[in-house]
Chain A
Amino acid sequence: MMSIKKKIASLLHSFEKTLGSLKAAVVIITLFIISLIIGTFAESLYGTEFASKLIYRSVPFMLLQLLLFLSIYFAAALRLPYKKRLLGFYLTHLGLITLLAGSFITYKAGIDGQTILHPNQLTAEVELTDKAKFVIQNETQGEKVSMYLPSSPFSSKVNVSHKDILVKKYIPFGERVVEWKKADSHLTSSFPSTTYFLVNAFTSQEITLSASPLAQEFESSATLGPLTLHYLPTELYSCFANLGPSKILVYNAKEKICFIPEERKIEIKQTEGGKKFLAFKENNVIHAFIPEVRPFDLDENLQPRADSPYKVFDLKIFESSPNLFLFGESLSYFSQEEDKWKTHELKRGQSRELPWMKMTIETITHHQDLYPAHGYVSVLPIFKNNEIVKGGEKAILVEMKGQEFWVSSRFPQKVKTYPDKQGLQREGQELRLSIENDSLQLPFSLVLKEFIMKKDPGTNNPASFESFVNVIDSRKSSKKELAHIYMNNPLKKDDFTLYQASYFPLQDERGNPKEDEYGSVLTVNYDPGRPIKYAGSLLIVFGAALHFWINRKKKEKVLL
């Protein structure tokens, strides 16, 4: 019995001796240095969040800090009882222990978040940016369920489910990409989809257009400033290439053929109102069209025929404004210079200059049998000029009703659940799935009354930002106090300190930034470890100075 106790004691003692030794200190500090160097390089390459997930908030780094703490503690303990000559040493090491303890308290109990203030809107919410969660909000019943997401910087398998929602995979740094998927076999015909790259001196954009009904996230037309892109079935290209004087073409969507009226000797007449009119007979059915009004096939009562495969286009109406017609790997547009419709091949990798705004178009990918869908891939983020330029989206792969789809921090999803098994709810319920940052509520509310940005004379560089904020504390009557928060002048209230951190331009209805109208971003901070850290700091500096002062006459033995 005694011997075991002794053994443990001696084991503890030797542990203490090893960890408290100078050599251990050298090893631990060196490990610490290496981790920090990796951390700073990771931050430079991949951003603050990545570095913090990789190193600063990772478990191994926490353990290393614990080791450092123990080593400092044992080093001091081993040099007791008190010797006067070591006073500086004791104080420094005590200071370090205090500092580390204070930091731990801050880490565990402190709050460091942001609150985003829009003008004249009441808010009490503080966003905690270092913790992301997956939120399922039942919009029918108003319930909210959330789960924290893994803190690893790399993509991880999850496999957690809530009712019929299964979370399969989490990507903390994801990039939205276009994935090409194979269409199910029940689609009898194939639909083309193409990715183009449009560029001129002022803008560049990659656009994927698709004719496939499966490509729900992709349109068959797009606008780019004044330019409109129309993605049309490939068969139409031949008609664009052989337009007649009427500049009308007829398309049969069922048989996938197109022809021009001149080809079949269909006469173009005029209605009483002076509009173009054409009609032809096929299998004893008369198909009639007034192409300037609508492209549909009309019956005897001039009502659109729902089951007709025919459509007509009067290209005349597309001549006055920039319209680009794309047929997968070919294109057509009206050249006002030459006063005629031009057609060109545009094979993959080829590019062609367009007659508008010195714009060039290039075909990047083209598929006949595959359809595009948005997906996410895990990437190493790229950090430039203080922001993530690539990989800034968190994404989760979710499976529901046997179907997989992505929910990302930028694009939340709305889905419907199965109808209830007991049949109480026949409709199923609306769910909103999203990724959000963790947040907390302040005990008081804030309203931004005014945000002022002063600029350096003659420039657009901000010289100072100031927020005037109404603080409303509902616990103590509803008296408002006006706080003036600006750089280096935070608001202190209820243990919280609110700092002017940043600002953002307000947007108008179209999403363009308004001039000189801003919202304000405040940092919200609560740090119970603060006094402890300050005390530790003072001890360290004072102790180090004292140590060297006491030993000023004593030459270092090892060095001599």
Chain B
Amino acid sequence: MNKLNHFFYWSLTIFISFNFSLRANNITSFCQLEDLQKTPTLQDGRVKPLESYARDVEKFLFEKKSYHLKLDLHSSTEFYCLLSLAPQEKTLSWLKKDLWVNLHHEKTRDLLKNTHDGKNALSYFQLQIQADQIRSALMREREEGSYKKELQNLLSKANLIQTILAKENWMVFHEGDFKNISELDPLNQEDLIASTQIYQDKNPDDFYLLELTYIKLNLYSWALLLTLMAILTLAFSRRENYLGWSLSILTLTLQITATTMRILISNRAPITNMYETVMFSGMGCLLLVTFIAFFKKDRRFLLAGLVYNFSTLLMIRFANNMLSSSIKPLVPVLRDNFWLSTHVTTVILSYSAFAMSWPLANWVIIRLAQGKLTKDQLADYNGLLYTSLKWGTVLLSAGVILGGVWADYSWGRFWGWDPKETWSLIVLLCYMVILHGKSTQWITKRAFPFLVAFAFLSVIFAWFGVNYILASGLHSYGFSEGGAIFILSIFMVQIIIGLWCYWQTKKR
């Protein structure tokens, strides 16, 4: 009898553990399914493919989109899926050993110094334990600043990971509605995969799956490569060459395709946040210079445009902390607004025109400093700069005024000295000073390119500074505002180049 019992006990144990590992295996293979990435999820007020959301989550939690590679996982979806569904032992060991949150601020590191191991990162396990301590430090902190901001950020991270682990974050499409995955207990995996098709049948006008193609194609990375090649080809060949032209046209085509996809996905003009304006301005500038270079039969325009486009693509590809690529619903006042689209498009195009003058002006001042420009060449280049400024000022005047029309239409006032509109006026006035000044003796033909190079800083400030420095409050610029550092470095670089060139030119 005793033996039988023993046997029974063992077989049961084996059965249970077998069953358990089967379940765990099952989840692992389920999370790896390619089709899972396509399933619709409702997040931040929009329906999007799971992969797109999972990437946003990963980016928010770990400040990079490729964190899952560290864990030997294939996609963000797999990571997100495992976090939500894997058995507790697995997630717990992740939280303890593999998932780390960065601590940026000196005071946060100090506050949590007993719980992190000196790497200025805290395990998510510890973060959850310390949540109360962080919350009370937040309550204690009376000064608005980057420390307070980081505490809030840490709490939202703790909260997000908590809701994911509790299965309260993953919204799945089930029986005609979006539900928390916890409501579908037990989860039928086939149903979840099938939800893609069911959702599409129900909403034939929703291009949500296009977003998956869009994020996977990485069109901007390809465009970056092509732009670089085009620049090299055009810069290092002496005669007109068709290769450079073809590469530029190809880049332009890629960027137009990407923009179009984004329009289809978001269902609005692609100019509603920083990421989109940067993206649009690169494309706009390239389009503009292609026209000008073609009609003026001068590839230097094209080259200047490509250089600018290259820098915007760099930002899109690498400045992820500053420019968020995720598509979010708009605040009410920006919706269905013809004037807004017209106004922003015009302003961005004008910035593109000024942007064309920027690399060109810097090129000219460097050549001047080296003493390698003849009088005729300088005059010729100044002519190019002048052309960019002409386009820029006309477009910007129109843009500023259209901004007034928009404000009038949406808020009932034409002009309200709002920082964004004031700065667009400042940009216009800066270029106006140059255009007026060049007819006096104050601005000589040598000073002109210097001023044009510096004037673009006003564009940088109107475009980025207002959002990253003025809007977030001057009190709080610091660690997370990648934007502030970006703006500052551009200013520094321009000032150094400017001063060095001035000094060299003066010497001659």
Contact = CB atoms under 8 A, between A and B. Distances in A.
A125 to B, nearest CB: 18
Contacts of B135: 201-202
Nearest to B340: A488
B60 interface: no
Contacts of A326: none
Interface string A360-395: 100000000000000000000011110001000000
A559 B382 contact: yes
A458 interface: yes
A456 B132 contact: no
A252 interface: no
A373 to B, nearest CB: 22
B20 interface: no
Nearest to B413: A112
Contacts of B386: 556, 559
B445 A560 contact: yes
Interface string A431-459: 00000000000000000000000011111
Q: From DSSP, what is the main secondary structure of chain B's interface residues?
A: helix
Nearest to A362: B140
A44 B144 CA distance: 14
Contact of B329 (A30, A463, A534): A463
A43 B419 contact: yes
B408 A44 contact: no
Which of A455, A458, A499 has the most CB atoms of chain B within a 10 A radius of its CB? Answer: A458
A282 to B, nearest CB: 49
A200 B136 contact: yes
A199 B136 contact: yes
Given A203-B139, A456-B46, A488-B410, A25 B332 contact: no
Nearest to B470: A44
Nearest to B134: A201
A544 B391 CA distance: 10
Interface string B322-348: 000000010111011100000000000
A318 interface: no
A559 B438 contact: yes
Interface in A25-69: 25-26, 29-30, 32-33, 36-37, 39-41, 43-45, 51-52, 56
A464 interface: yes
A23 B442 contact: yes
Interface stretch (B119-127, B156-164, B272-280, B393-401): B393-401
A360 B139 CA distance: 11
A295 to B, nearest CB: 36
B54 to A, nearest CB: 17
A32 B139 contact: no
Given A29-B436, A488-B410, A545-B394, A458 B415 contact: no
Interface in A501-532: 501, 523, 525, 527, 530
B404 interface: yes
Interface string B169-183: 001000000100000
Interface string B410-427: 111111010100110110
B394 A548 contact: yes
Size category, B interface:
35 or more
A32 B135 CA distance: 46
A384 B139 contact: no
A462 interface: yes
A382 B432 contact: no
B471 interface: yes
B439 A383 contact: no
B475 interface: yes
B365 to A, nearest CB: 15
A40 B429 CA distance: 15
Given A44-B473, A45-B474, A530-B408, A204 B139 contact: yes
A74 to B, nearest CB: 14
A26 B140 contact: no
Nearest to A25: B436
Contacts of B430: 33
Given A22-B436, A29-B429, A358-B136, A488 B394 contact: no
Nearest to A51: B417
B329 A456 contact: yes
A476 to B, nearest CB: 24
A560 B379 contact: yes
B76 to A, nearest CB: 20
Contact of A33 (B42, B171, B331, B426): B426
A56 B417 contact: yes
Contacts of B42: 457-458
A537 B404 contact: yes
A201 B474 CA distance: 27
Nearest to B412: A525
B390 interface: yes
A201 B440 contact: no
Contacts of B371: none
Contacts of A39: 417, 422
A490 interface: yes
A36 B426 contact: yes
B413 A26 contact: no
Nearest to B137: A201
Contacts of A383: 473
Contacts of A36: 422-423, 425-426, 429
B209 to A, nearest CB: 18
Contacts of A26: 433, 436-437, 440, 442
Contacts of B440: 22-23, 26
B204 interface: no
Contacts of B331: 461-462
Contacts of B144: 382, 384, 389
B337 A488 contact: yes
B45 interface: yes
A233 B466 CA distance: 55
Given A358-B132, A530-B414, A462 B429 contact: no
A330 interface: no
Interface string A380-418: 001111000100000000000000000000000000000
Contact of A556 (B415, B438, B476): B438
Given A22-B439, A463-B329, A541-B401, A523 B411 contact: yes
Interface string A457-499: 1110111110000000000000000000001101000000101
A298 interface: no
B43 interface: yes
Nearest to A456: B45
A461 B329 contact: yes
Contacts of B136: 199-201, 358, 360
A200 B448 contact: no
A198 to B, nearest CB: 10
Interface string B208-245: 00000000000000000000000000000000000000
A488 B333 contact: yes
Given A533-B404, A537-B404, A464 B335 contact: yes
Interface string B452-478: 000000000000001001110111100
A156 interface: no
A533 B393 CA distance: 19
A106 interface: yes
Contacts of A4: none
B409 interface: yes
A560 B423 CA distance: 31
A45 B333 CA distance: 25
A463 B332 contact: yes
A541 B398 contact: yes
A103 interface: yes
12 contacts: A26-B440, A37-B426, A39-B422, A203-B139, A384-B475, A455-B45, A457-B178, A464-B332, A523-B412, A530-B414, A533-B404, A558-B439
5 cross-chain pairs, A with B, having the tightest CB-CB distances, nearest first: A456-B45, A525-B412, A201-B135, A44-B470, A204-B139
Given A199-B136, A458-B42, A530-B414, 16 more contacts: A40-B419, A56-B417, A112-B413, A201-B136, A459-B45, A461-B44, A465-B332, A490-B412, A499-B410, A527-B412, A540-B397, A541-B394, A541-B398, A548-B390, A555-B383, A556-B438
